[in-house]
Chain A
Amino acid sequence: MTEPLPEPPTEPLSGDPRTDSAGVCPAEVFDGASARRHGVMVRGDAAALIIDGPDAIAATVAWSAIERIDTWPDAILLGRSGRPGWRLKLPLDAPAAILDRLPRQPRFGRLIDRFGYFKSLACLALASSLIVAAVIKAPGWLAPHIPTAWENGMSDDAVGDLAENTCHTPASDAALASLVARLDRDAAAQHLPPVHVELLKLDLVNAVALPGGRVLVFDGLLHQIRSPDALAGVIGHEIGHVRLHHVMQAVLRQYGLSLLLGGYRSNVTSAMGQMTALRFTREAETDADSWSRARLAAANLSPLPTAGFLASLESENGGPQMGIAAYLDSHPDPFARALAFRAVFDPSRAYDQALDRNAWSAIVNACADDVKAKPWTPFFG
């Protein structure tokens, strides 16, 4: 008679070959006190990880006190809460009784791990977009409420030293003042602070509006423009920026974005900042053009020379000329703008001249006549 076969185990054996009957495996412990390596045997039960080894090292550590530090190519690294420097290097093929009870490996950070990578990414991207949108939009409704005194302070801060680079002769100052008065006629009635228009000795075809109601027309533009009416159109455009609060908006937007992106600088985000921190938005440019056209009409000045000037920015050869590049950088499509000015020309109307011959030549020659004015250079200015 043969012996009866043993009963099959009541619990099915795990198919995992790592699990030997005792669930014991070798590991290494560093006690956090010295760099000595201690070889130990470890096993897991329901409550704790049991470490067998030299007396000073042997321990029973509750699962709740086990921290999963990292998964290395050759080991799983465990720590122990309240024991800085204590490390247990567990082989990757440790028994399931241990592996299954280990905490999850931290990956991206506690919060992101909890919700999952893609869900967190979507939420964070959405939140960031909302913040950027707010920073871009907010200046539009904040700018009109910034006190003029603050704005003036900003201008002094930024360009206070330009005094010796601007051109003044008595005749040119008077001519400019009368032109500005014609274009900005409602200012006094509405108690608005005056706009200061000055000529900057700089050989670039451009004009800029600065904080504090300051407008600078570059000397280079005067030589390109050839018509007082076109100068009126350009100055009208810049005064439009001032009166429509575009300058303050641009300052606030740039400040907001630099705060937002510069605070946590990285290459990508700073490049994004540069792209979005264009001086004025395209809407602002279009609005300033509209403002200019309305004021030209109110002053009974022809919009045609301005259209001609804008069209001339696209040079004969098709490509823009060197000095004009600066103007094109900051202003959208000159051809479309020229068309908009041409469209409001009324052939039946008898337009006035913006300046008489003497006043015009005083302005054009101001930078040559004012011997004290120094050319402005971006490097040494």
Chain B
Amino acid sequence: MADQAIDFEFDGSLKAYTAVVLPGFILTVATLGLYRFWNTTRIRRYLWSRTIFMGDRLEWTGTGRELFLGALAALILVLVPISLANFAIRQIALHGYRWVAVALSVAELLVFYALVGAAVMRALRYRLSRTQWRGIRGGSVDPGVRFGLAYAWKNALAMVTLGIALPWAMVSLWNQRWRAMSFGSLQFSAHGRARGLGLPFLLCYLAPVIAIGMVALLIWSGMTLTYFGYEPRTPLEWILIRLPAAFAFLFVIALIMTAYYASFFRQMVSNMALGGMRFRFNASAIDWMELFLGDVLLMVVTLGLGSMFLSYRHWTFHIRFFQIDGQIDTDDLNQSTTPAPAQGEGLLDAFDMGAL
């Protein structure tokens, strides 16, 4: 068989999704947010089960309890020690050992970055291990410690080089992360390259310069109106006058960043493979921008209540643009031998980075 597209289909509807998410959202509010772990599970179970690959639906097998225990463990094992360390460093600084405190702060930041890296890795591993198709699940044998360290030093390098090394760091971390992942008996391969990301990143790099220009425009936009005899009398008016310029400013910056991220994501996905399947992701910067602007509008118009629809929007966005070439021999796809992690993406959750 020649290469043919075997894409994901999505047969869910916003109406059915609302019937799933709304009662859970009400419970989340009534429990001061505690129920959100269970609601996340309900949302994923719906989105996964309405996604069809080669005639069979995906299945989310994770539970709310796993997510809750993961978050609890992260809170106790990570956030509490970090706050204690912060307190100690501040006390050291207050007692005059300024340089000791600075050195400790840097060390703490590195440890923090390593933890974030481990969290990113472990969350991906958890999600794959709870994603099932035809009874087969994904996973990883890598506990994420080495990835955490790589995450820390590569980000530190990106920082020290004032961002120049950032595309390289992002690419190599993406590859490292996905190469450790598997689905069933098949290992993911990832050979993304930083080449080709140069131009979009250069624009990002220039973004601060553009930002300064836009800030000048922001202040100036108010002054033109003042020049024409309109004096802002209340703080609200002062802000309103500058609002159009502020939006233009945010839009330009966001567009630049999105253009980079779009080409990064496209290149990373298109250099990945699993068994006989190769992946593609066709979303352009404009598509991403539509997604993000839609998110912002949704949140503003609904005063934040629309947040419950973000998962739906993002999941369907990824399904829409995700394409697969090649084929998979289901007889050769055997069960994963990776250990299934016991807890959810607690660490990532604790750092408030859980996206979906």
Contact = CB atoms under 8 A, between A and B. Distances in A.
Interface string A115-155: 00100110011001001100000000000000000000000
A72 interface: yes
Given A124-B30, A261-B32, A35 B135 contact: yes
Given A70-B45, A266-B28, A319 B233 contact: yes
Interface in A225-257: none
Contacts of B30: 121, 124-125, 128
B27 A85 contact: no
Nearest to B26: A121
Contacts of B305: 268
A73 B10 CA distance: 12
A77 interface: yes
Contact of B304 (A117, A261, A268): A268
Contact size range, A: 35 or more
Contacts of B32: 128, 131-132, 260-261, 264, 269
A159 interface: no
B36 interface: yes
Contacts of B27: 108, 112, 120-121, 124
B23 interface: yes
A367 B50 CA distance: 67
B228 to A, nearest CB: 20
B225 interface: no
Contacts of A108: 23-24, 27, 38, 42
B133 to A, nearest CB: 7
B27 to A, nearest CB: 6
A72 B47 CA distance: 11
A349 interface: no
B57 interface: yes
B273 to A, nearest CB: 17
Interface string A31-56: 11111110000000000000000000
A109 B137 contact: no
Contacts of B304: 267-268, 271
A70 B59 CA distance: 9
B224 interface: no
Contacts of B64: 109
Contact of A268 (B28, B49, B50, B334): B28
Most buried by A among B30, B36, B64, B334: B30
A69 interface: yes
Nearest to A109: B38
Contacts of A271: 304
A160 interface: yes
Given A112-B27, A121-B30, A73 B11 contact: yes
Interface in B23-71: 23-24, 26-36, 38, 42, 45, 49-50, 56-57, 59, 64, 71
Interface string B132-145: 11111100000000
Nearest to A121: B30
A11 to B, nearest CB: 38
Interface in A194-235: none
Nearest to B68: A264
B235 interface: yes
B352 A34 contact: no
A263 B134 contact: no
A317 B133 contact: no
B1 interface: no
B334 A322 contact: no
A84 B61 CA distance: 10
Given A70-B59, A72-B49, A73-B11, A36 B330 contact: yes
A70 B330 CA distance: 23
B355 interface: no
Contacts of B334: 33-35
B215 to A, nearest CB: 13
Contacts of A268: 28-29, 33, 304-305, 307
B136 A263 contact: no
Interface in A82-124: 84-87, 108-109, 112, 117, 120-121, 124
A35 B90 contact: no
A256 to B, nearest CB: 12
Nearest to A71: B49
Given A70-B45, A121-B27, A267-B304, 7 more contacts: A33-B335, A72-B57, A120-B27, A157-B90, A160-B94, A266-B36, A319-B234
24 contacts: A30-B136, A32-B135, A32-B136, A35-B136, A35-B330, A36-B134, A36-B330, A70-B49, A72-B57, A77-B59, A85-B137, A87-B59, A108-B42, A109-B38, A121-B27, A124-B27, A131-B32, A260-B32, A264-B71, A267-B299, A268-B304, A269-B33, A322-B234, A325-B234
A-B pairs, 7 with minimum CB distance: A264-B33, A30-B135, A35-B333, A85-B135, A125-B30, A35-B330, A35-B134
